[in-house]
Amino acid sequence: MANLFGVNYTAQDPVGAGDTTGTVPAAVDVAEWGGRVRVCYDSFTASGATGASDVLYLGKVPANATLLYGVLQHDNSNTNTTYAITVGATTVRAAATATKDIAHIFGEVIGGTKTTTLSDVKITLGTAALADTKKIKCMILYTVD
């Protein structure tokens, strides 16, 4: 059995990771080692039906944040509606349907991606509308310090 070490573990503790050359421990980005998890949470309730391709702006993530994952939930009765989510210019959930009243976790592809500027969280509705009085909730978890 071998002991294998991650990049930040090795940078933080080179001796513990088996380095015998005297490498000095490096300062690891606090957003990746010992940082606090923060959340950007927002919701939207339709007042009248929305249109296909409408864009909902649901919060902002600060510059230099390390994205972890997100959660999407809705009570829309229209099962054909797709939900695409972006943070800034980064797609964190490709357009896809989402089952009503179930929390959908997304972000395994973008975990560890950093924002470079203050970034809007946007949901683009596709193929069908959000029905009147229906709600979308979205949260993005990230570290920044």
What residue type is assigned to position 138 of the chain? C
Matching CATH number, 30-143, of 2.60.120, 3.40.720, 3.30.980, 3.40.462:
2.60.120
Which pTM does this prediction carry? Answer: 0.80
SS3 56: strand
CA gap 123, 69 in Å, rounded: 15
26-63 pLDDT per residue, tens: 777 777 777 789 999 999 998 887 888 899 999 999 99
Region of 22 please: left (phi>0), alpha (psi -120 to 50) or beta.
Answer: left
Domain extents for the chain? 30-143
Residues of the chain with pLDDT under 50: none
